[in-house]
Structure 1
Amino acid sequence: MFKKIDFSFEIKAIGYAFYFSFLPFLFFVFQFLFGEKELSFILLKQMEFLIVPFSAWWIIFLYHDYFEEGGSDLLYSYPLKAEEHGLLRIGVFSALYEILIAICCMFLIVRFPDANFFVLFIQYAAESLLYTSIGFVIILLTKKVMVPILMIVAYVSTEFLTEGSITPVFHIMSFNTEPLSLDQIIFSVLLNGCISVILFVFGHLYLRKKTDLRLF
């Protein structure tokens, strides 16, 4: 399954942007080590409004060479299927990012001893997958790296500043200041997960159609 994924090549293709994604985790660790325990809710805010949205970063820049560096011919020069250009690469980098999220959840367990690691992880993992799927679809449709980045930044910033009051129908995040129980997050986890699957399937079908017809 992973034979055709060259990690060193993919990381080089992403460039310095690959390492930029680690900055949110450094901020998180700094807050964990030096922040006041009375302000531990800031860690939960950082998870939803900083770390989780960055899950789309690697996915977006995986297509930087394709669309903004004149590398669209890569879609045809390699004997790869559409899923290997798309879902497989996304799955590998998403899994790597989920490991980083899991590490953050371990830190949260230390700060919130009554919290459940599994509940924390599935909450943030589901949110992360939705941002990833959004980034995947938007970069395919627009072929511009900055478009999905600006759209995600605008959404996250609006949600943070308004606590979701502008878009009351649907929110990716939970806005919690204390760890939640499984009953409290199960609906949002399922909803985020279902939307993610729909977007991933759409993105895959779109990519397969474009690569088959060589329309990129």
Structure 2
Amino acid sequence: MLLIGGLWIVHSVIEEQRYVPLLIYFGTLSLLFATFGFLLVSICKNIITPIVIIAIYVVTEYLTNGKMMPWYHAMAFITNPFSIEDVTFKGITNILISVFFLSLGQVILSFDLYKKYT
């Protein structure tokens, strides 16, 4: 609800900004970070390490505009209002990577539980 409300405010303030591209972009980005956090929690077994890793990633990406590190850039550095064409490829890529992170995290978690109870 917070994401939808925040996006509605941005949609209302920025002229020519449509709501659907914002929802696609930030929704898939939120899903990506949530599943990456789940994967890291299933690996590390604590919550501090995933928060620090995700915070370092986000800060590095925003401060360097995605030009410093040679990894996947989940964030789009677009100065114009988002259009469907701008966010479609990034959204699909984020969803596919999220499914991979979720599956891998679930496999690791179930393997740990299997080892614990057998």
Name the TM-score, length of structure 2 as normaliser. 0.90
Runs of 4+ in 1 over 3 A off after TM superposition: none
* Deviation, structure 1 residue 175: 1.9
Which amino acid is the alignment partner of residue 29 of structure 2? Answer: E
Q: Rg bigger for which structure?
A: 1
Please tell me whether residue 132 in structure 1 is matched to residue 34 in structure 2: yes
Q: Which runs of 5+ in 2 are unaligned?
A: none
**Does 1:193 pair with 2:95?**
yes
Correspondence for 1:52 = none
Percent identity among equivalent residues? Answer: 28
Q: CA deviation at 1:206?
A: 1.6
Partner of 2:22: 120
Give the whole-Å Cα distance in 2 for the aligned partners of 1:178 and 1:106: 17
Q: Give me the CA root mean square deviation.
A: 1.5
Counterpart CA distance in 1 for 2:93 and 2:64 is 22
AA in 2 matched with 1:106: W
Residue correspondence of structure 1 range 59-208 to structure 2 within 5 A: 99-208=1-110
Alignment partners' CA distance in 2, 1:169 and 1:183 = 22
| Cα pair distance change 1:148/1:169, threshold 3 Å | closer
**Offset of residue 117 of structure 1:** 0.8
| 1:21-43 superposed Cα distances (whole Å, 9 cap, x missing partner) | xxxxxxxxxxxxxxxxxxxxxxx
Structure 2 CA distance for partners of 1:169 and 1:152, relative to 1, 3 Å? closer
Letter in 2 for 1:122: I
Distance 1:151 1:169 in 2: 14
Return the offset for 1:204. 1.3
Offset, 1:212: 2.5
- CA change 1:169–1:142 in 2 (3 A) is closer
What TM-score do you get using the length of structure 1 for normalisation?
0.51
CA distance in 2, matches of 1:103, 1:176: 22
One-letter identity of the residue aligned with 1:110: S
1:168 to partner: Cα distance: 4.7
CA-CA distance at 1:144 after TM superposition: 2.4
Separation of aligned partners in 2, 1:199 and 1:176? 26
